[in-house]
Structure 1
Amino acid sequence: MPLSPSTLQAIQQAGLGLFNAHQAVSADVQAGGARAMAQMASQPFSPDNDAAYKKLLQLARMAHELQAMEEQLKLLYAQASEATSPDLPVLIALSSDGARGDGGRAAPRPDKAGAEEAVVKPAAAKRSKAAKVKQSRLSPNDEKVMEVLKSLLDRHSARVVTQASLAQATGIPLGSIGRSLRNLVAAGSIKEEGAKGAFRLG
């Protein structure tokens, strides 16, 4: 049984939480290290130096453990992505098109039914062909980034998404995230609006 998108999103949110926690603890380690160095320089024989150094080591170990948990969750997310049904987005799209088609056939008057069949079917075929062309241009990395963006964005308002958070969530190197975002914008899958790094679904 494949994992649902909501389950994948929950794992992704947990990864973002770990990433933020690791960043916060690492910042505290850097700040604490600077304070400890200043204290040791100004009061080299203070009895508080040893205690401050021990606390700094504890924070450093905590940051290291959080990073290890991050890496482990990255692997779990990758496994979960593989366990998510690749057919699910297609089935949803087909279901939506079918619902619109049923509504369109129920509403028209009898004298225009034939004309609507002649217009609607070619248009649907063109949309399907265009969608296939867009999908064929996306690399596996692009598709991974798009899966994460689908859980974060909507079609109505743009939202800032950092490349670092996308790299963390997908396990893709940071240098490749920008290229994937450009490919997704070019394909019309997402749109960049407002502030730099703000996107919405296309």
Structure 2
Amino acid sequence: MAKQEIREPKQKRSIEKKQSIIMASYKLFCDKGYYKTNTAEIAQEAGVSTGIVYNYFQDKKDILLEVIKFYISILSEQFQPLLSAPITKSNLPTRIEQFIDISIASHTMHVEAHNEFLALSLLEEDILILFNDFENTVLMIFYELLLTAGFSRRNLLEKIRISYGLVEQVCHYYIQRKLSQEELNTSKLLAIHTIVTLLEK
């Protein structure tokens, strides 16, 4: 069965309709979960007909991918100020602390969305690729910033990946309510010390 032709909106009104479908889907996927949401509910939430939804998307999976891209764009905006600021050996601890704080904020921005999309990334390769691309982009920017700051190239990317994994672990413990604020502060200090030590080796 041939796939229907999907319209790429060019006029402002059409672009706004497509965006409203994405935003409605984002809300419903967070509130109900991806698998418990159908396209009729998405259309109702977006204030359009089901037929309009299929003008812009092949199916619910197609909508999901656009929702994930929207979610990643929010994450990118949150990290942008930090990623565009220079790193020096003296301000490295502060930059790492800022990275941890932004990561915690991004994880807690919409906990339901984070948990839903993380679970889906384990099941859907397309989603995993989108998140991996985002992660690789962020880490490569830090790689270049650290090289510019005079850090050794030797095993630097591997050190950055290990550091990123440590930050993610702190975030996940926090959002799962396994850490009190005091414990979070202690974990942050330990993570910063460990990452600085690792990167300076």
Instruction: State the TM-score, normalizing by the size of structure 2.
Output: 0.28
- Whichever structure has more strand as a proportion of its residues is 1
Larger radius of gyration: 1
Name which structure has the greater RCO, CA cutoff 8 Å, separation 6+: 1
